[in-house]
Amino acid sequence: MTVFRIVGFGAVLVTAAVMVTGMVAAGERPTMSQVLEDSTDDDWRKPDDAYTVYMKIPGGTVILEMAPEFAPNVIENIRKLSASGFFDGTAIMRSQENYVVQWGDPLSETDEARSHGNAAANIEAEFYRAADGLDFIAIDSRDAYADQVGFVNGFPAGKDSDGERAWLTHCYGMVGVGRGMATDSGNGADLYVVTGHSPRHLDRNVVLVGRVLVGMELLTTLRRGTGPLGFYENAEQQVPIESMRFASDLPEDQHVDLRVLRTDTETFSDLVESRRYRAEEWFVDPTGRIGLCNVPIPVRTSQ
């Protein structure tokens, strides 16, 4: 069999039951593979069905995890919209290179706009919240955009220097809520996913509600829209959303059995350090630094 040269080890999303193993470590620091190999069942959590969303598109199913700690009201509105079938038959209307894909009702600004049912039309923006009460796992990193950075239950987050406000950060794969000029206009009927280098200038300007656990490749490989801001110029180019439902609204036999690495454990601290100091033999400069959006949060499935 042909042996290929490799650039590095970038495994971010472990979607197979079999973990990547057997990388050679130089020195005593463990590699990420070793940290994951040594992890126990307690290091992994099952995402809450009440905050896990399945979105079916022609290419497959994208699975999102919501972060109710940060945007409870918008998430409840998305739950109402999803449960009422609002998203079924809507479309991905935008795919902008190195930025976002976005979906919603293509006819929202016309007389044929879909009803939002019992969901609110406007919601006070949840751009940030009080840091108080959050289990914020800080990581030591010099961040361009936030004075303190870390993770809350698997989601990347930032804090001000005084530690009073906290917010989710626009890392690759994060899910946010499109809005117009009015800050309360993002009610969850328009959603986007970050598909390029993390656009952190959007932090605290748009409500983030969660992240993609599975299926990023279904979104990132979509043709780019050729209109302004990457919107598709013709309706035929749009990618239909077949359905979007919270797992708790779906029969058990349609659930995928996922596990997400917990971020409040020693294993996670070890993982962060294994990414900061690259012990794999291939590295000649082990780096010694880590960026918030460069920390992978592994996901695995038994299927």
Subset of residues 185 to 224 that bind its own copies, contact rule: CB under 8 A: 185, 190, 192, 196-206, 216-217, 220-224
Residue nearer to its own copies on the CB measure, 245 or 275: 275
N-to-C CA span, the chain:
27
The shares of helix, strand and coil residues in the chain, as percent rounded to the nearest 5, are 20, 25, 55
Q: Which residue number, 50 or 138, has a Cβ lying nearer to its own copies? A: 138
CB atoms within 10 A of CB 6: 8
* Number of residues located near its own copies, criterion CB under 8 A: 81
Contact between 17 and 303 under an 8 Å Cβ cutoff? The reply is yes
* Beta bridge partners of residue 253, listed in sequence order: none
- In sign, the C-alpha dihedral spanning 109, 114, 120, 123 is negative
Question: Using the rule CB under 8 A, which residue among 82, 141, 148, 263 binds its own copies?
Answer: 141
- The least distance separating its own copies from the CB of residue 51, rounded to whole angstroms, comes to 22
Dist CA 202 CA 205 (whole Å): 5
Q: Which of 30, 47, 104, 154 binds its own copies (CB under 8 A)?
A: 104
Return the range that interacts with its own copies (CB under 8 A); candidates 31-39, 114-122, 240-248, 285-293.
Answer: 285-293
Binding residues for its own copies restricted to 27-86, rule: CB under 8 A: none
Other residues' Cβ atoms within 10 Å of the Cβ of residue 24: 10
User: What is the nearest approach in angstroms of its own copies to the Cβ of residue 60?
Assistant: 12
Measured CA to CA, the distance from residue 135 to residue 115 in angstroms comes to 37
Footprint (CB under 8 A) of its own copies, residues 113-132: 127
Q: Give the 3-state secondary structure of 131-196.
A: CCCCCCEEECCCCCCCCEEEEECCEEEEECCCCCEEEECCCCCEEEECCCCCHHHCCCCCEEEECC
- Least Å distance, CB 291 to its own copies, is 4
Question: Residue 34 Cβ, how far from its own copies at the closest point, in Å?
Answer: 17
Shortest Cβ 195–its own copies spacing (Å): 8
CB closer to its own copies, 228 vs 251: 228
Pairing between β-strand 243-246 and β-strand 52-57 as defined by DSSP bridges: antiparallel
**Does residue 301 belong to the site contacting its own copies (CB under 8 A)?**
no
Tell which positions 219-258 bind its own copies, by CB under 8 A: 220-224, 228-231
Piece in contact with its own copies (CB under 8 A), picked from 32-40, 71-79, 244-252, 289-297: 289-297
Amino acid, res. 68: P
Q: State the nearest-atom distance from the C-beta of 171 to its own copies, in Å.
A: 7
Question: Contact between 178 and its own copies (CB under 8 A)?
Answer: yes
Which one of 19, 20, 83, 134 is in contact with its own copies (CB under 8 A)?
A: 20
**Nearest residue to 101 (alpha-carbon basis) of 13, 223, 198, 227:** 223
> Quick one: which of 127, 174, 177 has its CA closest to 155?
174
- Restricting to residues 156-175, name those near its own copies by CB under 8 A: 171-173
Q: Is 23 in the site for its own copies (CB under 8 A)?
A: no
